[in-house]
Amino acid sequence: MKLHFKSSKHKQAVILFEQLVKRYGQNSLDTADVIVALGGDGQMLSSLKESIEFAIPVFGINCGHLGFLMNEYLDTDLNERIHKAETAPIHPILMQAIKSNGQTHEALAINEISFLRQTHNAAHCQITINNKIELERLVCDGIMVATPAGSTAYNLSAHGPIIPIGAELLALTPISPFRPRRWRGALLPATSIVHIKVLSPDFRPQSVTADSIEVRDIEEVTIKQASHITLRLLFDAGASLAERMIKEQFLA
């Protein structure tokens, strides 16, 4: 099996990178069968985006802290582990953002696309789903659209729902909502088109972030699933992402 290793800058990841390249060799991305990402979930997200061009799966090895999307490090045959690994197919989401100055930006997100207020003023925004206004005015610190893969990340910390892998759903989750005070968000079909319009953008500026790509001073954003792109995460047999997400719901 031809492997291409990618490492974060963490010391442990760099050391492991050198060891594994010496043991298994380093293949170029255009000839590799699998990307092996060394680090934490940030490195996994970066490697997954890089895998799109080459249509190859990614096997992660945790060298960071939580590493929810990663496998644990084991001193066993890596080729055999990958051969026996289970695949978790996921779709990213695409944002099309328009800034207050008219500039447009596009970016893919694997975990979530999140809006946040830029100043001390609360964010005011209007939520439209499939060309129908569902919420005239949301007053909050922010709001996000999360994928199933990202539902256990920022979405969960904002009290959003955990979505099983394979469920054709997206989570629309407010961040510290003030009005409507009791609104806790919504689960949307994955085919939904979400449009968020910033109200009073000059007085209440907002930014939008697709995973790690931030665009500031936005006026409106459209978000939809990039169903034509399928990313493949590899997990050790018996430790699939679906099983981890079930377990996460029973943690105290």
Rounded distance between C-alpha atoms, residue 156 and residue 18, angstroms: 35
Supply the DSSP symbol for 154: H
Whether 133 and 141 have beta carbons less than 8 Å apart is answered as: no
Q: Residue 85: left (phi > 0), alpha (psi -120 to 50), or beta?
A: beta
Q: Which of 41, 77, 217, 236 is catalytic?
A: 41
Rounded distance between C-alpha atoms, residue 90 and residue 86, angstroms: 13
The neighbour count for residue 184, using CB atoms within 10 Å, is 12
Rounded distance between C-alpha atoms, residue 252 and residue 250, angstroms: 6
Q: How many CA atoms lie within 13 A of 64 on its CB side?
A: 19
Catalytic residue status for 41? yes
- For 87, counting Cβ atoms within 10 Å of its Cβ (0-12 exposed, 13-18 middle, 19+ buried), the class is exposed
Rounded distance between C-alpha atoms, residue 54 and residue 73, angstroms: 25
Q: Which positions are annotated as active-site residues?
A: 41
